[in-house]
Structure 1
Amino acid sequence: MEEMSLGPNGGLVACFEFLLDNLDWLDEELGEGDEESLVVFDCPGQIELYSHIPVLPTLTKHLQQHHSFSLCASYLIESTFVVDRAKYFAGTLSAMSAMIMLEIPHINILSKMDLVKKQITKREMKRFVDPDPNLLLEDARKDTNEKFWKLNEKVVDLIEDFSMVSYLKLEAGDEDSVAAILSYIDDCLQWSEHQEPRMRDDDEGVRDEELEG
């Protein structure tokens, strides 16, 4: 990065561009795979990669066309954002941008729910799970200079017009929460539709083996 006079974000973008120039390496690493394989790409959080630089859309198209991957994007923002509404709506706009750019099945997740359990009621949380743009207007009237009110109103209109973003709640220590997220991802990937149906005789054979063991 020093040689190229790039900061952390610029260096990350350069790395992804280098990857796109060497996709044959990625193809070799992925190998043939099979329908039962699940590959997780843990991507960095720099929003530039998902908002206006087409590196990840190019990568997802490559995975679909050359590997026949079924893809699902999971976009996480921390639940602590709901305490700061400006951050929450910035995150919501970023999620919307990623959905439009990537053009693949997509779920949005409020992570680390255990951190806000005591700070916000369940009724209030519903307004964040399905974004209520009026939350932004309420804050605008109280804490924002009047000259920004029209800008906030336009942001509200944008969120309402697209009506794309909603969130699932994730608490890592709650098995039901994790299972619900995985179920949504399976549905997006249509994973169960690719599985071979198990015959009754097969199930009985498995049970017999377990009893004999």
Structure 2
Amino acid sequence: METARNVIHDRTFGQVVIGPPGSGKSTYCKAMRELCTAIGRRVAVVNLDPANDLLPYEAAVNISDLIELRDVMDSLKLGPNGGLVYCMEHLETNLAWLCGQLAKVRGCYLFIDCPGQVELYTHHSSVRNIVSQLQALGYRLSATHLVDSHYCSDPGKFISVLLTSLSTMMHIHWVNWQSVHNAVELPHINVLSKVDLVEKYGKLHFGLDFYTEVMDLSFLADVLSEDPFLKKYKKLNEALAGVIEDYSLVSFLPLNVQGRKLP
């Protein structure tokens, strides 16, 4: 029986595009595909989201050819979240199928569009294991974690986003060295998407640089304390901000996919 390690390929580079639902992952993949094509780069978009049946781009590889979320939900009586977890576990078990599909786009730069279920990147291991196995096979990948910039308009939500981003970075970087001997750490960037719309969501308490550089978060805790209901949670908010600052790992790059001017 063919295994993933039997698939021979040239060294391939790409991005694993992750993030919460609605953060613009598919739109990002579409825009980057158009940009790379315009400058003469060979590129392929890989859809690993079985819940995304209305793709805005032409997928060179589509997980729906292996498994469909609707079929899983109907046959196993699972909800959308449970169905997504099952699909990713099935993909992990059938990694040789994925490698065989990727071999068809050998030499292309990859944009791997992943599901929007946050738990897949903060708690569950399938996505992490799939990426680690691909790295062990010679794929040179990085993680692009997209977050909707509208969270900047709410200090409480932004702190939550920071915690999620930190948890994702730490989880997706973990490698089981006993089973993946040749794996390497995954380069990771966080992106604030839809920055062209950020002011439409609500007035920011600070300049955009405050949110992209993740500056002194005590200011956010002070803003939250101005709300009489949230004032009693000031120590909790300060403690959460302290955890984020202690690790000092999270920062963001602002992105507006509508601004496609080439240099």
TM-score, length-scaled by structure 1: 0.75
Per-residue CA deviations over 1:148-202 (Å, capped at 9, x if unaligned) read 22221210111110010111111112135x88xxxxxxxxxxxxxxxxxxxxxxx
Per-residue CA deviations over 1:48-80 (Å, capped at 9, x if unaligned) read 0000111111011111112x1111111111111
Higher relative strand content: 2
Task: Give the match for residue 39 of structure 1.
Answer: 110
| Aligned pair partner of 1:107 in 189, 196, 204 | 189
- Give, in whole Å, the separation in 2 of the partners of 1:4 and 1:136: 44
Q: Gapped runs of 5+ residues in structure 2?
A: 1-72, 174-185
Give yes or no for the alignment of 1:127 onto 2:207: no
Give yes or no for the alignment of 1:54 onto 2:137: no
Task: Give the match for residue 98 of structure 2.
Answer: 26
Residue 85 of structure 1 contacts residue 135 of structure 1 at CA under 8 Å; is this kept in 2?
Answer: no
- Give, in whole Å, the separation in 2 of the partners of 1:113 and 1:146: 29
Moved more, 21-30 or 2-11: 2-11
- Give, in whole Å, the separation in 2 of the partners of 1:86 and 1:158: 15
Shift of 1:120: 4.7
| Aligned pair partner of 2:143 in 61, 68, 73 | 73
Q: Gapped runs of 5+ residues in structure 1?
A: 180-213
Moved more, 152-161 or 114-123: 114-123
Change (3 A) 1:85 1:14: same
Shift of 1:134: 1.9
Per-residue CA deviations over 1:65-97 (Å, capped at 9, x if unaligned) read 12x111111111111111112222211111111
Over the matched positions of the two proteins, sequence identity in percent amounts to 36
Moved more, 119-128 or 13-22: 119-128
Per-residue CA deviations over 1:5-59 (Å, capped at 9, x if unaligned) read 321111101100011111111111111765x421111012211000011111101
Max Rg structure: 1
Residue 159 of structure 2 contacts residue 241 of structure 2 at CA under 8 Å; is this kept in 1?
Answer: no
**Quick one: which amino acid aligns to residue 162 of structure 1?**
Y
Give yes or no for the alignment of 1:63 onto 2:134: yes
- Give, in whole Å, the separation in 1 of the partners of 2:205 and 2:243: 26
- Give, in whole Å, the separation in 2 of the partners of 1:17 and 1:25: 13
Residue 81 of structure 1 contacts residue 88 of structure 1 at CA under 8 Å; is this kept in 2?
Answer: yes
Per-residue CA deviations over 1:84-138 (Å, capped at 9, x if unaligned) read 1222221111111111111210111111111124655796111101113124312
**More relative contact order in 1 or in 2 (CA 8 Å, sep 6+)?**
2
Task: Give the match for residue 148 of structure 1.
Answer: 233
TM-score, length-scaled by structure 2: 0.61
- Give, in whole Å, the separation in 2 of the partners of 1:12 and 1:87: 25
**Quick one: which amino acid aligns to residue 39 of structure 1?**
L
Residue 92 of structure 1 contacts residue 165 of structure 1 at CA under 8 Å; is this kept in 2?
Answer: yes
- Give, in whole Å, the separation in 2 of the partners of 1:134 and 1:147: 15
Residue 109 of structure 1 contacts residue 168 of structure 1 at CA under 8 Å; is this kept in 2?
Answer: yes
